[in-house]
Amino acid sequence: MGAGHAHALYVEGTSPLHRLRPQCKVAATVLFVLAVVSTPREAFWAYGLYALILAGLVAVAGLRPRFVLRRLVIEVPFVLFAVFLPVVGQGPRVEVLGLPLAVDGLWAAWNILVKGTLGVAATVVMAATTPVPQILHGLERLRLPKAFTMIAGFMIRYADVITGEAGRMRIARVSRGYDPRWIWQARALASSAGTLFIRSYERGERVHLAMVSRGFTGTMPVLDELGATRSQWLAALAVPALAATVSATAWLVR
């Protein structure tokens, strides 16, 4: 049931990027994204450099460029509204292919699109070289509160189980000749959702029972001491440091 979902993002490999400790990769990704979003939007050349850095990482990780591009599609719903900014924007206008577009809107759309794409690309590279449990460990090592990483871990672990349950409920509904498609038929869906919530809640209780039975006292044991070496940190942070330099230069030459 549901096999393969957790590997949708991860690509098996042994590249230096795969071997790097997860906490280094998580920290480097966050810092890289920060450097990118703090770059002035007029500095086109800076964004070209960022894209080059990412392309270099993709090459080092041995990822297929087509895989990365395909994963980028996930940002489409989020940046869709950026497309409308030039149309609905106020202020001076410029004629593009016979359409009067707002200059401010164009800048805003470019800003969102380029920063969004670079940010998503950076996380795609990280996720493709780090298995999900490792990312959670990395966050834990970075002192993210344990409650967060635990909840995220349970969410990932039980997503398939709960999806499976929802699927079985849908089949049971359809099998009795009811397949709601319209908004006024939402009642059946709502009660299904309620049932699903209660079942998940009860599962939570049973999981807790199983945890308590194995000596759980409220804190997860810290298992692996996956400390990163100095050189690993240096190698990982070189990437955001480079990006930060680009960003700072872009501000200076503006």
Partner 1 sequence: MTGVGATSGAGQEQGRQTPALEVEGLAFAYPDGHQALFGVDLRIERGERVALLGPNGAGKTTLVLHLNGVLLPGAGRVHVGGLPVARAHLKEIRRRVGIVFQDPDDQLFMPTVTEDVAFGPANLGLRGAELEARVKAALTAVGMDGYADRPPHHLSFGQRRRVAVATVLAMEPEILVLDEPSSNLDPASRRELADILTGLDITMLMVSHDLPYALELCPRAVVMNGGAVVADGPTAQVLADTELMAANRLELPYGFDPSFTRTK
Q: How far is CA 59 from the centre of its chain?
A: 21
d(CA 245, CA 254): 14
Rounded Cα distance between 214 and 71, Å, is 40
In the complex with partner 1, the residue whose CB is nearer, 108 or 142, is 142
CA distances from 207 to 158, 201, 203, 216, 234 (A): 11, 10, 6, 11, 41
Per CB under 8 A, the list member of 40, 48, 100, 133 interacting with partner 1 is 133
The CA distance from 227 to 224, in Å, is 9
Among 34, 79, 156, 166, binds partner 1 (CB under 8 A): 156
Say how far apart CA 128 and CA 118 lie, in whole Å: 15
Q: How far is the CB of 211 from partner 1 (least distance, A)?
A: 7
Question: Could you say which residues in the range 211-250 bind partner 1, by CB under 8 A?
Answer: 211-217, 221, 223
Most distant CA pair in the chain: distance in Å?
Answer: 71
Q: How many residues bind partner 1 (CB under 8 A)?
A: 29
Cα dihedral 197→171→183→203 (10° resolution) = 0
Closest separation between CB of residue 216 and partner 1, Å? 6
**Of 1 and 183, which CB lies nearer to partner 1 in the complex structure?**
1
Cβ at position 213, least distance to partner 1 in Å: 5
User: At closest approach, how far in Å is the CB of 16 from partner 1?
Assistant: 20
Least distance (Å) from partner 1 to the CB of residue 169?
16
Positions touching partner 1 (CB under 8 A) are 1-4, 6, 132-133, 136, 153-154, 156-158, 160-161, 203, 206-207, 209-217, 221, 223
